[in-house]
Structure 1
Amino acid sequence: MREEKLRVLSGRTVLLFPDSDAYAEWKQRAESMYFCKVVVSDIIERNATPKQKEAHIDIADWIIFQIREGKVMSTANHLVEAERILQRMIEKNPVLQKLIDDLDLVLVGASPIGNDDEKPP
């Protein structure tokens, strides 16, 4: 978190995920970064077990633990559903695949537009 290396992020919002033993330090250092907006996540601080904190886990360790415990299945299922929706769209209009390929588009997710109580936009 050296300012000279982070200066390229000027004007951007930066989300930091400190290791379990570094939240307070990163939060303090983030307050002095005036060239960009810095948000320091406390997800590990709030959710890591004492044993995980003792092991100085980082965000990757915490995510792996969540996957092993089956706590992020809804995210995985959401992406699988998005792939199914996209495949059905391509089956209805094969030119869509050419557009995806030509523009190097990447599937990032899918969500419904509105709900049953609202009129579509």
Structure 2
Amino acid sequence: MASLGSVELVAGVDVKKGGKVTIAELFTAEERKKTFSAEADAPTGAKLRISVAKLEPFETIADLGSKKGEAASLWRLLKIWDLDKQLAAADDVKKGERLKVSVEIL
């Protein structure tokens, strides 16, 4: 697995350990648009693993790909239905907390 990159995003809601939350609920659209520099090529359709600190990771397919060195963001990478996937919290998340989001190419 190659790392595509990572970014820190600010949680918009509290989530209790064991609770369920979606990416759309957890991060505002503005947060999801924050960019990071792509560390590798990830063409459209590439399989990705998205890991959000304190949440279970999930796999998806890149909606819009990125080339090494280009700006990438969850807004561009995730398909619309990925924003509504229910993810379990492995630990408490507090509103305003900065969470690291890592993207790997599978």
TM-score, normalized by the shorter chain, greater than 0.5:
no
Q: TM-score range by the shorter chain?
A: under 0.3
Q: Which has the higher contact order (CA 8 A, sep 6+)?
A: 2
TM-score norm. by structure 2 comes to 0.22
User: Which structure shows the bigger proportion of residues in helix conformation?
Assistant: 1
TM-score norm. by structure 1 comes to 0.20
